[in-house]
Each structure stands twice: as C-alpha cells, then as structure tokens.
C-alpha cells in the first residue's frame, strides 16, 4: 500500500448549474488541509473536478436547447474552473468525466469486473431520483407533502422519484454486505464523523440489493464496452474518476504511487455512495480501498440547506467580491464545524471579518511593523533576555502549533484556527500589558535598560507574526504573503510556502537586522457591506 502521497479529493460536481458556496465549502476545506500537509513536507495530490454525465445534466441541457456537450463545456469554462481562482484553490488537477482518460479508465474497470463475474444482465423496474441520480428501494419511497403533494419522494433525501423500467446490467453489490460490515468494524476511522459512520452501518445492515450499473433509455454517458445499447449509471463512473484521474487504466505506475486516496471529502448526502458502493467496487476489482471518507455537514441559510433548487444558493464571488478570498476561506473554516450542519449569514461574516481579521490579526501586524519603523527605523532589533512574559508567548506558540497540527490531522480546521487564534490573542495581550510605547518613552530619556526591553518586546512580537504568517498561509495565502514580505522574511528565510509547520515554533528565526516594512492593510474595514 502506498503511504507516500497524501491524496485528497473533493466530490466532482454536477454541472447542471453554476457553483454555489456549498460547493466552494468542500473545495476550500480540502485546499486548507492539503496546503497544510504540503507545509508539513509531505507529498500531496489534491484533485477536484466535474461530473458531467447523467440524466440531470442531460435534461438541463435539453431545457436550454443545447447539446449536453455544449452545455458542460460552457459551464466548466465559465463557471467551474473560474470558481477555483475565486476561492484561491491550489488543486493539482481538475478532472472532467468527459475526458478521454476517464472514459477509457472507467471502461477498463468495468470490463475487468465483468470478466471477474461481478456483473450480470437483468431488468429493472423501480424508483429513480434524477435529482440525486439514485436508484431508490421501495422501502425508501414515500408520498410527498407540500409542493410534492401527489408525487413520490425518496425518504433518503426528499428528492422526487420516478418509476423506471429498463434492461440493465447489475453489479453484485449484495455479495458485499458482510464484507463491508467487517471492513467498517476493522477500520473504525474509514467513515467519519461518527454520525455518518452510524448511518452507513445502519444502511448496510438493512441489506444491500444488487446495483444497476447501466442505463439504456438515454445516451449521455460512457458506453458499456461490451454492449453499445447501454451507458454506465452516472455514479459508478463518477466515483471512478478518483482513480482514473491518477492513472487507473492509463498509467499503472502512477496509480500505484498515489492510490489509495487518503481522504475523500464529501457532503453527508453522498457519504453512502462513497462508503458503500465505492469500497465494494474496489474490493470486487481487487484494488485498495480509500483510507478515509469524511462527510461534512450542510451550509444552512435561514435554517434551510442551501441549494440552487431552493433558489437560496449564494455564489462564491458574491462574498469574495466584498470580503476577499482570504476572509472567505477563513470564515468557512472558522465559523462552522466541519462534519456538522452550520448556519451562515452575511452579518456573521461581516462581524467576524471586522472583529477577528481586521481588528484582531490585521491590526496586530500593522502595529508591530509601525512600531519597529518608528522606534528602530524599520530594522528588526535583537532580543534581550526573555522574561516570564516572553516565555509565555513562546509556550503559547508551541502549544498552539501542536494543537493546530493535530486538529488538521483530525480534519477539524475550525479547531486548528481556534488554536492559531490563541497566538493572535496572546500577542495582542502581550502588547497591551508590555506597553511598548511607554517603554519607548523611558528609553528615549535614556533610563536603565529600557532600550533593550523595547527591542525584546518588538522582536518577540515580530517572531510571533512570523509564526502566524506560516501557519495561516494554508488558510489565508494572500494576507500571509503580504505579512511575510513586510517582515522581510523572504530574504532571510526563503519562500513562505517552503516554511515547515514542524519547524515553525522554534524561536528566534528572524535574524536581527532584517528590514521590516509596514504592510498594506491586510483586512481594510468595509464601511458599506451590503446586507444580503
Ligand atoms: N456529482 C456528485 C458527486 C460525485 S463524487 C464522485 C454530486 N454533485 S453535487 O454537485 O450535487 O454535490 C457536490 C457536493 O456539494 C456534495 O458533497 C454536496 O454535499 C455538496 N453540497 C451541495 N449543497 C451543499 C450545501 N448547502 N452545504 C454543503 N455542501 C453542499 O453530488
């Protein structure tokens, strides 16, 4: 098993519509986690992309009077790729299920499974939800209410279902019920958090039916290689994109280097596909199963799951245009608990932006640089002897970095930021209690060792800022780069992205004599934030 590459994926997103912040959420969290791991010195591969086949996308294209290929090409270029720039994602790959490498890899996979006897032909009559592209068992179909009065809906997610009858190919999923239950038992961290794990185990315990893997009533999909009248069911090829994008079916050496995935980040609504169908497919093919599936909660707006169909979808650029990509990334990581549902609001973003970013962090950075400018002509002074106050700063930094690292390991970015903010608070408190402006007055009158004391205080705060620039770089790369520059750290210590998390807390890295300049305001106040 390859432990060499830390391979993280987001779901590949349906291109029936433009992205909303629910999609941006997973991609940003994955980006923070992978940037952090890169700064731990690990080999990282981070993939996102688009899920372009299936009936949902086809119907949307038809409704817009274009071919599905035209529809997906336009949306991917005009909306989905630009999203990554908007939210400042540093993904290594962007995979499309209409790519040839994916088609060939997916066909190779199912050909192998067919040859191993895991597939048979049959006919299917039952319920299908186009909204979630899911076959729904009779037991999970209920009468709809409200807007869905008179319509059958899926109990699993409330989406509308239709009765379909088709000749299909089936995968012997039912053979994997016990194997999966044994696997969950032996690998307690495979599906997280606990709530998702419990749901998956109870779903599988209720029994697994064989899964239809093909559709034959429309043709927007990947042809089944041994029967041209069928295309693959969208989910069983979409899941494969995690493998085909890293070489499955085209470059076995590369695949073995990267596979299995370290973490599949998914929303809780699609945890079942990733924790049931996907491992069963891989087991059937004799491939390694991913290490972890982490299911996050939903973004709620006004108490409701945000979605395009409910018309409460907020576009990521609506927020980024006002607050910037750094604050956007910070907000979703800090204000929500990854793994639980969480409410978001414009007021909350605005409040956190000003209290935590502008006043808490941005102000700290500019005050320290301004004082070094004023009292030492912009040259970092050497530290004198540490007193208890400096030792407390150093201890706080060591503990906070350790806790933040453990939190990222546990896929809990909110806890990582809470830990890092202990450094921000400690430095602000330290400046307040040490009153460098008073020490400067005493120093100016030539009294005692005040000059030395002033140097110690400002050296300590600059060192604290150095640590903040490094540990906040995965979350807020733009502001961190400005801070790094202002500390003159690039010349002394090298590129910010090369700074290692495991070495960051070692004290005294910024050499005395470094030129410190006042940074442009990291988080300028936003006077007229609109309320949306
Ligand atoms: N195409 C499938 C995934 C295939 S992965 C092999 C799909 N696409 S999706 O575009 O409908 O959803 C992608 C992700 O967005 C899911 O993880 C889903 O949970 C997430 N979100 C959609 N709305 C969301 C919120 N309101 N809040 C948080 N995440 C949300 O499913």
Average pLDDT, the chain: 95
| Per-residue pLDDT at 443 exceeds 60 | yes
Residue nearest to atom 30 of ligand 1 (CA): 22
| Per-residue pLDDT at 531 exceeds 60 | no
Mean pLDDT calculated for residue range 429-440: 98
Separation of alpha carbons 145 and 142, rounded Å: 9
Mean pLDDT calculated for residue range 89-117: 97
Pocket test for ligand 1, best of 10, 16, 17, 23 (most atoms within 8 A of CB): 23
Atom of ligand 1 nearest to the CA of 14: 10
The pair of three-digit structure tokens given for residue 375, joined into one six-digit string: 């009292």
Residue range 215-272, pLDDT digits in tens: 999 999 999 999 999 999 999 999 999 999 999 999 999 999 999 999 999 999 999 9
Residue range 474-527, pLDDT digits in tens: 999 999 999 999 999 999 999 999 999 999 999 999 999 999 999 989 999 998
Separation of alpha carbons 467 and 424, rounded Å: 10
Separation of alpha carbons 465 and 468, rounded Å: 5
Quick one: pLDDT band at residue 157, thresholds 50, 70, 90?
Answer: confident
Mean pLDDT calculated for residue range 368-396: 98
Gap from CA of 21 to ligand 1 centroid (Å): 10
Separation of alpha carbons 54 and 128, rounded Å: 12
Mean pLDDT calculated for residue range 104-124: 96
| Per-residue pLDDT at 3 exceeds 60 | no
Quick one: pLDDT band at residue 117, thresholds 50, 70, 90?
Answer: very high
Residue nearest to atom 25 of ligand 1 (CA): 22
| Per-residue pLDDT at 437 exceeds 80 | yes
Token pair 């029936």 is at which residue? 16
> Does residue 518 contact residue 475 with C-beta atoms inside 8 Å?
no
Atom of ligand 1 nearest to the CA of 300: 26
Atom of ligand 1 nearest to the CA of 13: 10
| Per-residue pLDDT at 2 exceeds 50 | no
pLDDT of residue 244: 98
Q: Which of 28-32, 298-302, 516-520 has the lowest mean pLDDT?
A: 298-302
Quick one: pLDDT band at residue 446, thresholds 50, 70, 90?
Answer: confident
Q: What is the DSSP string of 29-72?
A: HHHHHHHHHHHTT-EEEEEEEEE--SHHHHHHHHHTTS-HHHHH
Tell which wins on pLDDT, 4 or 218. Answer: 218
Percentage with pLDDT > 70 across the chain: 98
Gap from CA of 11 to ligand 1 centroid (Å): 7
Other Cβ atoms less than 10 A from the Cβ of 5: the count is: 18
pLDDT of residue 529: 52
pLDDT of residue 530: 55
Mean pLDDT calculated for residue range 170-181: 98
Contacts with 155 (C-beta within 8 Å, 6 or more apart), sequence order: 136, 139, 140, 141, 142
DSSP code of 176? G
| Per-residue pLDDT at 532 exceeds 80 | no
| Per-residue pLDDT at 336 exceeds 80 | yes
All structural domains of the chain: 355-503 (1.10.730.10)
Gap from CA of 207 to ligand 1 centroid (Å): 25
Record the pTM. Answer: 0.96
Pocket test for ligand 1, best of 20, 53, 55, 267 (most atoms within 8 A of CB): 267
What is the 3 state secondary structure string of 398-446?
HHHHHHHHHHHHCCCHHHHHHHHHHHHHHHHHHHHHHCHHHHHHHHHCC
| Per-residue pLDDT at 68 exceeds 80 | yes
pLDDT of residue 309: 67
DSSP code of 515? B
pLDDT of residue 448: 85
pLDDT of residue 1: 41
What is the 3 state secondary structure string of 120-164?
EEEEEEEEEECCCCEEECHHHEEECCHHHCCCEEECCCCCECEEE
Residues touching ligand 1 (Cβ under 6 Å) are 11-14, 22-23, 25-26, 51, 238-239, 266-267, 269-270, 298-299, 305-307
């Amino acid at each position: 098993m390859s432990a060499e590459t830390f391979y993280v994926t987001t779901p590949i997103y349906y291109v029936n519509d433009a992205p909303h912040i629910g999609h941006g959420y997973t991609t940003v969290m994955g980006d923070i986690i992978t940037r952090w791991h890169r700064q731990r010195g690990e080999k990282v591969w981070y993939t996102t992309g688009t899920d372009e086949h299936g009936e949902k996308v086809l119907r949307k294209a038809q409704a817009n009077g274009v071919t599905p290929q035209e529809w997906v090409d336009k949306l991917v270029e005009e909306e989905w790729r630009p999203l990554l720039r908007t939210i400042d994602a540093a993904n290594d790959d962007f995979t499309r299920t209409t790519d040839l490498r994916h088609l060939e890899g997916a066909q190779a996979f199912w050909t192998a499974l067919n040859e191993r006897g895991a597939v048979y032909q049959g006919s299917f009559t039952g319920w299908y939800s186009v909204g979630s592209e899911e076959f729904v068992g009779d037991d999970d179909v209920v009468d709809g209410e409200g807007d869905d009065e008179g319509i059958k809906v899926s109990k699993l997610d409330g989406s509308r279902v239709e009765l379909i009858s088709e000749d299909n190919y089936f995968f012997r999923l039912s053979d994997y019920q016990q194997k999966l239950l044994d696997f969950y038992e032996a690998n307690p961290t495979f599906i997280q958090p606990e709530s998702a794990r419990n749901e998956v185990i109870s779903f599988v315990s209720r029994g697994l039916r064989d899964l239809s893997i093909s559709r034959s009533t429309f043709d927007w999909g990947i042809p089944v290689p041994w029967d041209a009248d069928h295309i693959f069911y969208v989910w069983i090829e979409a899941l494969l994109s995690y493998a085909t994008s890293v070489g499955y079916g085209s470059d076995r050496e590369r695949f073995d280097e990267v596979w299995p995935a370290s973490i599949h980040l998914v929303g809780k609504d699609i945890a079942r596909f990733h924790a049931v169908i996907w491992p069963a497919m891989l087991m059937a093919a004799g491939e390694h199963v991913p290490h972890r599936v982490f299911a996050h909660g939903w973004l709620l707006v006004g108490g409701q799951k945000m979605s395009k169909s409910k018309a409460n979808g907020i576009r990521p650029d609506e927020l980024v245009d006002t607050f910037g990509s750094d604050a956007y990334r910070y907000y979703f990581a800090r204000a929500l608990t990854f793994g639980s549902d969480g409410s978001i609001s414009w007021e909350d973003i605005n409040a956190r932006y000003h209290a935590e970013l502008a006043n808490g962090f941005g102000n700290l950075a500019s005050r320290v640089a301004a004082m070094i400018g004023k009292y030492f002509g912009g040259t970092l002074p050497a530290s004198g002897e540490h007193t208890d106050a400096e030792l407390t700063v150093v201890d706080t930094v060591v503990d906070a970095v350790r806790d933040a690292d453990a939190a990222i390991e546990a896929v809990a970015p909110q806890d990582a930021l809470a830990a890092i903010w202990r450094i921000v608070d400690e430095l602000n408190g330290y400046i307040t209690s040490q009153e460098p402006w008073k020490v400067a007055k005493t120093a100016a009158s030539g009294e005692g060792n005040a000059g030395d004391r002033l140097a110690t205080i400002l050296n300590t705060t600059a060192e604290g800022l150095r640590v903040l620039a490094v540990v906040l770089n995965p979350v807020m790369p733009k502001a961190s780069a400005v801070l790094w520059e202002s500390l003159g750290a690039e010349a002394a210590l090298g590129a910010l992205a090369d700074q290692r998390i495991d070495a960051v807390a070692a004290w005294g890295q910024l050499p005395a004599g470094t030129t410190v300049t006042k940074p442009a305001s990291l988080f300028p106040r936003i006077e007229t934030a609109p309320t949306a």
